[in-house]
Amino acid sequence: MKRLLLSCLVLVLTFSNLRADEGMWLPFLIKERIAHMQEKGFKLTAEDLYSINKASLKDAIVHFGGGCTAELISNQGLILTNHHCGFRQIQSHSSVEHDYLKDGFWAASQKEELPNPKLDVRFLVRMEDVTDKILDSYKESMTESQREKIVATNSAKVVSEATKGNHYEAKVESLYYGNQYFLFVYETFTDVRLVGAPPSSIGKFGGDTDNWMWPRHTGDFSLFRIYAGKDNKPAPYSKENVPYVPKKFFTISTKGVNEGDFTLVYGYPGRTQQYVHSEAVRYILEKSNPHKIKLRTLRLDVQRAEMAKSQEVRIKYASKNASVSNAWKKWQGESKGIIRLNTVDKKVTFEEEFNKWAQDKPNYNGLLRKISLLYSKLEPYSFAIEYYNEAIIANEIVKLARDVSYIVKRGSKMAPQVLAKNVKSMLENFYKDYYLPIDKKIFIAIVNEYDTNVPNDMKPPYFRELKEKLGSVDKIAEELYSKSLLADSNKVYRAIKDGISNSTFTKDPAFVFFNAFNDNNLKNIKPITDKIQRELALLYRTYMKGQMEFAKEHNFYPDANSTLRIAYGNVSGYKPADAIYYKHYSTIEGIMEKDNPGIYDYNIPQELRDVYANRDFGKWTQDGTVPVCFVATNHTSGGNSGSPIINADGELIGINFDRVWEGTMSDIDFDPEMCRNISLDIRYALFIIEKVAGATHLIEEMNISQ
């Protein structure tokens, strides 16, 4: 009896979401959750959210650029996402003469909308449980290698059947560590044009200081438009294309939000790992995050110092700096959350109870010991790979050598002149946003960290010999940046003017450096990590199945993997620390309190100051002010950026763009008391579009419910 009571206690502690808003649910299976959602206030049906027989809300949502989410808000293909999701496109169109990052961009007509050659959006056509099809002919007596071949063969067959005779794309995804398989069928559009974006002082208001924090006052939105052929089907960019007519688009509600209101997030969360072993979390907390944070701190310090000196450099490095900073700050909050929740010890306690339960079960007895042993073998190799990614490939000139090497290798059968043209196109894009002094200073800082922290037997012999020969990492940097063709655009263009041969870059220092590290990684490190990871994957498949048997009362949801999910909860403030309570919303007054012309990230446009001074808020007000952001209990992750926030009536009330810093451990351990997603109130976006941008023609496209 004591053992049973202890097991129940562990389950309550470990699976707290039985009483919370945790979960990223598959739309295909949302009917299993709809009763609970309706208890919380939702008024629609499962069929309204996901259907293949009629237009549903899934048809108003797109996977934006492979890493964010966006939503349709008009019958003319107009889509809404975050400013930071469209940042790369906004930056790519910016120059000193046309600084759209600083000044914003608003197309006065569809003819002025800007194309983005490397951007695509994709709609989910349907999803289907294909577990039986994927595991057809598999028997438990087979080896893992035999199983992998069957899964690969059957997956290819399922994808082929799903895309036969149509223009769709399809992919089979593994869920629950291979205990279930789903087919996802997509329709992809590649003609996506920039329509509007506020200045970064609105769209990125607060910059890195406010990132991941609450209260937030960031107008994190941008507008794009999907274009199609005249048959409304996907088509390459053409001036003849027309705005896409969607099956479904959102009605926008300006009724606002109140504490306790139902909210639903519909989007593409990137990656979570809720069910991992305690050793995986311990490694993240004690080793991985601290080292990655330090390496990125060094990079950010160099970038920020140089960006502060020059507007041109600031524009070039705006997107890069934001990208480096985002994970850097997230990792810090994640570590603090893991410590506060005592996640490692909770998992250890759960594992101890699982082991007791598994003693008389041959499939599970001894399973966790095997997993723990594999993690101890994996750790030094994972550490070396993370340093390879964060301290070697993170250097721009090394990454460029990698990218050029890959193009040359893939184009080995091309004519030398054609290959040179392809490489030059990529180089031009690189040098547009490159500043050598930043790259060189970062190289010295982070390669020194690599040299200090990575064991000698994990380093390439070339690197050890080069350092011994030259004496220091500083001297290596001097050699590389003074002699590599890649350090001087004019030199490399001259070198490839007449074509590229196999010997063009053979002796170039940047290529020699990259090849040495890449070869070491591919020959001495990655094969070992791959082998261990395959063994872990096999054990995790069994462990996941065991967890579901051990904790039968728990509603397990599959970890996020960039497939469409639904998360639901309620608008709610929270208490981050003793004697502090954060309200659920922020207002324009907070923007004016932070406004500081002397700080780039807080220097709002004069137009916004004027509108505020005149109290010219129009119809976007509540209680005499303009709401800006709000927080709710929805379970979100990276990839949910840009996701629509939907009210109980299925109307758009906001745009998800962040999580609170105290809750960033939610990818590993969800805390209902502290985990909050941060959303832009749709009324602030509309206020900016009308009152600051004067783009009323865009508002006229939308269906707005008062």
SS (H, E, C) 468-517: HHHCCHHHHHHHHHHHCHHHCHHHHHHHCCCCCCCCCCCCCHHHHHHHHH
Q: How many helices (H) and strands (E) does the chain have?
A: 26, 22
Cα dihedral across residues 467, 470, 472, 474: positive or negative: negative
* Rounded distance between C-alpha atoms, residue 464 and residue 31, angstroms: 59
* Rounded distance between C-alpha atoms, residue 536 and residue 280, angstroms: 11
**Crossing angle between the packed helical segments 367-387 and 436-453, to the nearest 10 degrees:** 140
* Rounded distance between C-alpha atoms, residue 448 and residue 19, angstroms: 48
* Rounded distance between C-alpha atoms, residue 467 and residue 470, angstroms: 5
Concerning whether 345 is annotated as a catalytic residue, the answer is no
Which of 658, 681, 689 is closest to 223 using CA atoms? 689
Torsion angles phi and psi, residue 570, rounded to 5: -145, 155
- Scan for tokens 């003017």, then name that residue: 497
Spot the catalytic one: 21, 74, 83, 84.
84
In the chain, what are the helix, strand and coil shares in percent, each to the nearest 5? Answer: 50, 15, 35
* Rounded distance between C-alpha atoms, residue 244 and residue 75, angstroms: 8
Concerning whether 141 is annotated as a catalytic residue, the answer is no
- Scan for tokens 């469409």, then name that residue: 564
* Rounded distance between C-alpha atoms, residue 652 and residue 671, angstroms: 26
Concerning whether 319 is annotated as a catalytic residue, the answer is no
CB 82 within 8 A of CB 641: yes
Cα separations in angstroms, 73 against 379, 404, 407, 648? 47, 40, 39, 18
Spot the catalytic one: 94, 155, 222, 641.
641
Strands, E assignment, 146-239: 169-175, 180-189, 191-197, 222-228
Burial 529-563 (b: 16+ CB within 10 A, else e): beebbebbebbbbbbbbbbeebbeeeebbbbbbbb
CB 112 within 8 A of CB 289: no
Burial 20-37 (b: 16+ CB within 10 A, else e): bbbbbbbbbbbeebbeeb
Chain CA centroid to CA 447, Å: 26
* Rounded distance between C-alpha atoms, residue 337 and residue 324, angstroms: 21
- Give strand pairing partners of 123: 187
Spot the catalytic one: 99, 220, 261, 508.
220
Q: What angle do CA 658, 660, 661 make, to 5 degrees?
A: 115
Which of 341, 334, 342 is closest to 661 using CA atoms? 334
Question: If you ran DSSP here, which 8-state letter would residue 339 be given?
Answer: H
The H or E element containing residue 680 is strand 677-681
Rg (CA), the chain: 26
Catalytic residues: 84, 220, 641
